[in-house]
Amino acid sequence: MNKMKDFFNEVANGDLDKIKAFIENGIDVNEKDENEQTALMVAVMSNNPEVVKLLLECKADVDAFGIHKEDRNPINYASAYGLVDIVKILLEYKPNMKLLNVYGGTPLIPACEQGHYEVAKLLLEETDVDVNHINNLGYTALYEVTFSPNRSSVYVDITNLLIKHGADRNIKDKGGRTPLEIATKNGLEAIANILEGQ
Do 154 and 190 lie in one domain? The reply is yes
Give the per-residue pLDDT at 29.
Answer: 95
Do 193 and 158 lie in one domain? The reply is yes
Give the per-residue pLDDT at 35.
Answer: 82
Q: Which domain holds residue 53?
A: 1-61
Domain harbouring 118, CATH code: 1.25.40.20
Give the per-residue pLDDT at 4.
Answer: 87
Residue 79 within a domain: no
3-state helix/strand/coil string of the chain: CHHHHHHHHHHHHCCHHHHHHHHHCCCCCCCECCCCCEHHHHHHHCCCHHHHHHHHHCCCCCCCCCCCCCCCCHHHHHHHCCCHHHHHHHHHCCCCCCCCCCCCCCCHHHHHHCCCHHHHHHHHHHCCCCCCCCCCCCCCHHHHHCCCCCCCHHHHHHHHHHHHCCCCCCCCCCCCCCHHHHHHHCCCHHHHHHHCCC
Give the per-residue pLDDT at 69.
Answer: 54
Do 191 and 94 lie in one domain? The reply is yes
Do 54 and 96 lie in one domain? The reply is no
Do 103 and 195 lie in one domain? The reply is yes
Residue 48 within a domain: yes
Do 177 and 103 lie in one domain? The reply is yes
Question: Of 61, 79, 100, which residue is a domain's last?
Answer: 61
Do 94 and 161 lie in one domain? The reply is yes
Number of domains in the chain: 2
Give the per-residue pLDDT at 67.
Answer: 64
pLDDT along the chain (198 residues), means of 10: 86 95 94 89 95 97 75 88 98 94 93 97 97 96 93 95 96 95 95 88
Do 96 and 176 lie in one domain? The reply is yes
Do 194 and 103 lie in one domain? The reply is yes
Residue 73 within a domain: no
Do 19 and 103 lie in one domain? The reply is no
Do 103 and 143 lie in one domain? The reply is yes
Do 45 and 101 lie in one domain? The reply is no
Residue 27 within a domain: yes
Give the per-residue pLDDT at 65.
Answer: 79
